[in-house]
Structure 1
């Protein structure tokens, strides 16, 4: 079998080489988009009542329809268009969040850096082409303050700040079936009330035309508009932007509950969690048991006000 020089280069080193090519490209650019850090991102949400639409590596891949096929949301032209519209949206009440990776990766641990070496080396130029250098972006990783970072010493301080977003608020959680955001821990215990609309765990965007009106109808029934927290992959990115246009505060909250659970367990790997869907652990995290604790299950089911199958 014919071999070339790439066959003799270790896998991780191939990623580093690709990243070096990306860095050379970045150095040749006059400007790189500004991405504000964790505290500035979270404090702005708290102080200004902003909505949040988040774009991570997955959303960028879905825009270009090159997301891995074994993922929980399949590539589609419709979703790519919707995500493209969202990242270009100009709304004074909407914060657009992207990864703080374009200038450097010093804050991340080895596993995360190796991933970003490859991702930026392969896709970085395309991703940057979507961003406006005259615009200020915020940190999409504010919902992932634990697992990927080298310094975890102040992580509970970060979670305490995050909890202020919904302090004494009525919250509506829009989530995948079996996501169970905040169930079994104290993450949302400081909210005034909690209700939930459950959506498909996989390929939720295919039901977007049902999800959006279901959420809007429920919010409009309330005397006081709730804060909408959405944990629904790329569908959350689009939904938060669309709700913001309707003057409904919505936050694409992503994996925050999973990260909080991992931090409480002091996990060093993306382990499965009891009673919760963990999409980043396909071996064990996709098989979710029912909630066996009667009181916990009663509380959770009482919060469900809508279900889209």
Structure 2
């Protein structure tokens, strides 16, 4: 019965609501002040700026929207909502706020069909929240900078973006703060050009429940190892953590699902698929990664937060 309801609802949105209402709604929430993916990647390469990224999930967590995060890896909470709003409203040129690319470019045929439709429906359903947060006089950066492949029809975007991003951490020491099944860069060449990798492993689900421990553990490491660039893959917790580390004087990049995206890019995937050694929350069956036997990876772990 539930599946039938969802099927009918999708058909109603696709064939009735989107054609009737999208253009009008989109004009009320769209912004021309969102940088392209390529420009966002270049800004990260040529400067020492930090970034916090907001996608549909972060916007939903920000407003505790029921239903959007039913099967999510992070439970909603008033504190998480408050912190995300704080980060989004911050105004510092050296801390980049990333917003969804779709606020600027939806409907221009660069996205695969199901993603185009998803965002049209999302914008219609969540327009009142988008109106509250999007300031048409403010310049934003592009959340999709770390997701330049699977949603797009044009592979060239990913070619250029991954090439540029690899220059961000080239020859640097990096600290990866990640969910304990994310395993960024394990068994691929995403970070082959860095000088050193250290990792702090965190809960892959409901990481914000352990936020104070994660923040303290990260800062304790950085106080001793100040020359590390921090890359964070931890859902909405990463958005908050990147800001708090920035405010403490460290460069932090909310890197999101970049490694999953990069794996799909390397295999030429046409749709989102499971990766057996990495947690993929967007794929059915991708919620339980297999144990990784990798002595190099194990040696990189400097702390585990539970």
Whether the 8 Å contact between 1:16 and 1:114 is mirrored in structure 2 is no
1:63 is aligned to 62
- Shift in Å, 1:101: 1.3
* Cα distance, 1:17 vs structure 2: 4.2
Cα shift at 1:46: 1.2
Q: Please name the residue that 1:73 is paired with.
A: 74
Contact 2:41 2:161 in 1 (8 A): no
Matches for 1:293-308 after TM superposition, within 5 Å? 297-308=294-305
Match of residue 246 from structure 1: 248
Aligned residues of 1:22 and 1:125 also touching (Cα < 8 A): no
Any conservation in 1 of the 2:275–2:286 contact (CA below 8 Å)?
A: yes
In 2, are the aligned partners of 1:262 and 1:270 still within 8 Å (CA)? yes
Question: How far apart are the structure 2 equivalents of 1:27 and 1:154?
Answer: 26
8 A contact 2:28–2:131 mirrored in 1: no
Distance 1:154 1:83, change over 3 A: closer
Q: Distance in 2 between matches of 1:267 and 1:7?
A: 27
Q: Distance in 2 between matches of 1:126 and 1:216?
A: 33
2:290 matched to which residue of 1? 289
Which SS does the other structure have where 1:212 is aligned? helix
- 1:76-132: CA deviations, max 9, x gaps? 111000100000011221000001212442221101011112111100331232122
Residue in structure 1 matched with residue 280 of structure 2 by the alignment? 278
Q: Which moved more, 1:268-277 or 1:234-243?
A: 268-277
Q: TM-score, normalised by structure 2?
A: 0.92
Structure 1 residue 27, shift from structure 2 partner? 3.3
Matched, 1:225 2:222: no
Normalised TM-score (structure 1): 0.91
- What secondary structure sits across from 2:97 in the alignment? strand
2:92 matched to which residue of 1?
91
* Residues matched between the structures, number: 297
CA RMSD of aligned residues (A): 2.0
- CA apart distance, 1:23: 2.7
The alpha carbon displacement at 1:156 in A equals 2.5
Do structure 1's residue 157 and structure 2's residue 156 form an aligned pair?
no
Runs of 5+ in structure 1 lacking a partner? 1-5
Q: Structure 1 residue runs of 4+, over 6 Å off?
A: 6-10
* Residues 1:112 and 1:280: Cα distance change in structure 2 (over 3 Å): same
Partner of 1:3: none
